[in-house]
């Protein structure tokens, strides 16, 4: 378990993502072509040359991040770098499950596309938002959310690092919670540009519909352990991983606990596979002793290969 592959969540997307890898790897090209065929439209063109506006739509963002993350995981393995454990942040968990051999790429791309569609519809049906709270203890964030609940639903969504917690819920509830936290010593309170209240009870209808699709997908025994967002447990049980995935859309992303669980089991190096390096920052803030690396281009891939093989 010395090396972990970790995969980013929504918000990491950007125009041009994956193009460099596509142009330099025949296997990556085949993966994008397979995704385009399954989806029935050119996801690759949207990723490589599409507008930021199209790419940030949840229904497009999620498959875009998934395909690039799986592609990088495959490139790392092709170059002799194999993980002993894996995890992903929110949508990133699907790339983790594919990397571990739990779900196929074909099932994964179908699931994330439908997940994005259902979450987008949930956001239209029950408008919501999210905000990042910096420099406030979990207990205080939770308490202030409870205080703000009279204005509207607001819950803790992501435990990203000891320094950053994300809240989610109805617009009025989140805005009230932000006011309370600003007044009570939060270092920073940042509204997030999202289309819905992810990882909150506003996703209830979407989660129930999506759970039926997860039940229909084939979950195989993992080749390596996977850490799930919703419980931060290390698992080799496909049915436990299925249940955790069904709970994920409504539940909090326990990222800090996930990193601690992997570190406690001997993980020393975390390779973020996907666009950006937000997870590297979160991991360092959780435990400065852990080594982080990121791969999103051929240049960063070569850098990681050289560093780990020398």
Instruction: Give the pLDDT confidence of 48-90 residue by residue, as tens digits.
Output: 999 999 998 999 999 999 999 999 999 999 999 999 999 999 9
CATH 3.90.1170.50 at 3-123+202-309, yes or no: no
Catalytic hit among 44, 69, 90, 243: 90
* pLDDT value of residue 309: 83
How much is the average pLDDT of 133-146? 96
What are the pLDDT digits (tens) for 182-211? 999 999 999 998 879 999 999 999 999 999
Q: How far is CA 23 from CA 45, 65, 200, 298, in A?
A: 13, 17, 39, 10
Residue of 44, 69, 168, 199 marked catalytic: 199
Q: pLDDT-derived band of residue 277, with 50, 70 and 90 as boundaries?
A: very high
* Cβ-based burial of 295 (10 A; exposed 0-12, middle 13-18, buried ≥19): buried
pLDDT tens-digit readout, 213-241: 999 999 999 999 999 999 999 999 999 99
Following CA atoms 71, 4, 274, 251 in sequence, which dihedral angle do they give, to the nearest 10 degrees? 110
Backbone angles phi, psi at 46, to 5 degrees: -65, -40
* Sequence spans of domains, the chain: 3-123+202-309, 127-195
Annotated catalytic residue 89: no
Question: Which residue has tokens 């240049």?
Answer: 299
What percentage of the chain exceeds 70 in pLDDT?
100
Q: Does the structure show a pLDDT above 80 at 11?
A: yes
Average the pLDDT over 171-175 and give the result. 97
Return the percentage of the chain with pLDDT > 90, whole number: 96
CATH, domain 127-195, list 3.40.50.40, 3.30.160.150, 3.30.70.250, 3.40.50.620: 3.30.70.250
Q: What is the mean pLDDT of residues 139-155?
A: 97
Is pLDDT of 310 > 80?
Answer: no
Average pLDDT rounded to a whole number, residues 165-188: 97
Q: Is the pLDDT of residue 1 over 70?
A: no
């Amino acid at each position: 378990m010395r090396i972990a592959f970790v995969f980013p969540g929504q918000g990491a997307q950007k125009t041009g993502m994956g193009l460099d890898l596509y142009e330099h790897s025949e296997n990556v090209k085949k993966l994008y072509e397979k995704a385009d065929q399954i989806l029935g439209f050119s996801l690759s063109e949207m990723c490589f040359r599409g507008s930021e506006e199209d790419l940030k739509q949840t229904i497009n963002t999620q498959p875009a991040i998934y395909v690039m993350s799986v592609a990088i995981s495959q490139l790392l393995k092709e170059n002799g770098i194999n993980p002993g454990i894996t995890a992903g942040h929110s949508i990133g968990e699907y790339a983790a499950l594919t990397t571990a051999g739990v779900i196929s790429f074909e099932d994964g791309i179908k699931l994330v596309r439908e997940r994005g569609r259902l979450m987008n519809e949930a956001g239209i049906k029950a408008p919501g938002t999210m905000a990042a709270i910096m420099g406030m203890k979990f207990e205080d964030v939770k308490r202030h959310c409870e205080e703000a609940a009279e204005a509207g639903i607001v819950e803790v969504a992501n435990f990203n690092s000891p320094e950053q917690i994300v809240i989610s819920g109805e617009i009025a509830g989140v805005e009230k919670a932000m006011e309370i936290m600003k007044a009570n010593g939060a270092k920073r309170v940042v509204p997030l540009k999202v289309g819905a209240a992810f990882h909150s009870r506003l996703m209830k209808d979407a989660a129930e519909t999506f759970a039926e699709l997860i039940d229909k997908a084939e979950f195989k025994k993992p080749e390596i352990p996977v850490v799930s967002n919703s419980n931060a447990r290390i698992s080799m049980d496909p049915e436990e991983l299925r249940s955790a995935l069904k709970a994920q859309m409504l539940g909090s992303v326990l990222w800090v606990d996930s990193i601690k669980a992997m570190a406690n089991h001997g993980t020393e190096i975390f390779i973020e596979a996907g666009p950006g390096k937000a997870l590297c920052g979160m991991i360092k803030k959780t435990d400065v002793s852990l080594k982080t690396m990121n791969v999103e281009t051929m240049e960063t891939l070569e850098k990681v290969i050289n560093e780990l093989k020398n």
